[in-house]
Amino acid sequence: MKLNLFDLLKDEIFVAGIVVFFLVLLIIVGVAMGESWDSFTDEQIVEAIGRAENSIEYPYGVRSINTKGDKEYARRICLNSVRNGRARWIRAGRPDDLIVYIGKGIVRPKLIH
């Protein structure tokens, strides 16, 4: 049976809210620290996401794929999202902040107000 990512999404509004929450949190922390997120490694960004989300049921904020609470599996999904997002960001000419750009790729545009 082939899985479709859109079939796996249960509650788009909730997922969007969680993603926006951790992105805003990461941006605030980054601005407070006076550093740009593009100076951090993918691993460091994933670690920050894991700490910000701090969920047993949805480690690293991953809700689109049922990880059954498996932290390492969720971490790999999150790391792939960050790596792919950074690559798209570089190809696009580095518009916006890295974390904002990655967030725009995760949350569907119709859900961003």
Each residue's pLDDT tens digit, 50-93: 888 888 888 988 888 899 889 999 999 999 999 999 999 999 99
Spatial neighbors of 70 by CB under 8 A, at least 6 apart, are: 59
Spatial neighbors of 29 by CB under 8 A, at least 6 apart, are: 48
Copy the structure tokens of residue 88: 């798209």
pTM over 0.95: no
- Which CA distances in Å does 80 have to 31, 45, 103, 105, 110? 24, 12, 14, 13, 24
